Amino acid sequence: MTAPPGRRRDSAKTRALLLQTARRRFARDGYSATTLRDIADEAGVNVALIGRYFESKEGLFEACLTAAVDELRRETGEVPLAEVHLVIADQAARIGPEGPPSQLLLLLRSSGDERADEIRRGVLRTSAERLAAATGNSPADPGTLLRAQMVLAASLGIVLLRSVGAMEPLQSADRDALAAPLRDLVAALLPGR
């Protein structure tokens, strides 16, 4: 059976639209409060397509997190340890009055669903392991991993505090003002070999 004329579906575009819509809904409303019907209705597609492309709500959520991390990686690339502070400063400086981008909100927001939170924790764990590996030490080394997790926690904390306008001068600091103290933080916590 073929699609009616003028209604041909582009599966790649539909999948991307569902991901974009789901990421926005999950970031704004949380995992538990977001239904597949909400996502499908907002995207203007049949809810059955979510099952076709992602199998389940969990699969869609995991795809959203994976896409968010991939997007952050594309923006930052494989950064040498000596430049990690600049990447953090760039990310933090882009936080405006609209708050953090949805990919960061997905990583910060607890979902209320154990499986979804497990997926989110796995993504954060992998990010910390990549940061630990950038030191030249084994990411399995508990001391190195702890230090990498502390850098990640500090980075997310900076983003969170900037997004809620909690403190000055942190709120209005530009990239250059953030870069120097972040360099000191990263160097203190993650000395390279």
Q: What is the pLDDT of residue 1?
A: 41
Q: What is the C-alpha radius of gyration for the chain, rounded to an integer number of angstroms? A: 19
Q: Which two tokens stand for residue 22?
A: 């789901």
Burial of 186 (0-12, 13-18, 19+ CB in 10 A): buried
Q: Is residue 166 part of a domain?
A: yes
Provide the greatest CA pair distance for the chain: 63
User: What is residue 152's three-state secondary structure?
Assistant: helix
Task: State both tokens at 168.
Answer: 């000055």
In terms of residue numbers, what domain contains 120? 11-189
The pLDDT of residue 124 is: 84
Q: CA 94, CA 162: separation in Å to the nearest integer? A: 10
In a domain, 5, yes or no: no
Per-residue model confidence (pLDDT) at position 3: 47
Cβ neighbours for 127, distance < 8 A, ≥ 6 positions apart: 69, 152
pLDDT at residue number 46: 94
Tell me if 3 is assigned to some domain. Answer: no
What 3-state DSSP class applies to 135? Answer: coil
Residue 39's alpha-carbon distances to 15, 24, 175, in angstroms, are 12, 9, 35
56 inside domain: yes
Give the C-alpha separation, 88 to 67, whole Å: 19
Domain count, the chain: 1
pLDDT averaged per 10 residues, the chain (length 193): 54 93 88 93 95 93 83 69 85 71 72 78 85 89 94 87 82 90 92 74
* CATH number of the domain enclosing 64: 1.10.357.10
Residue 1 falls inside a structural domain: no
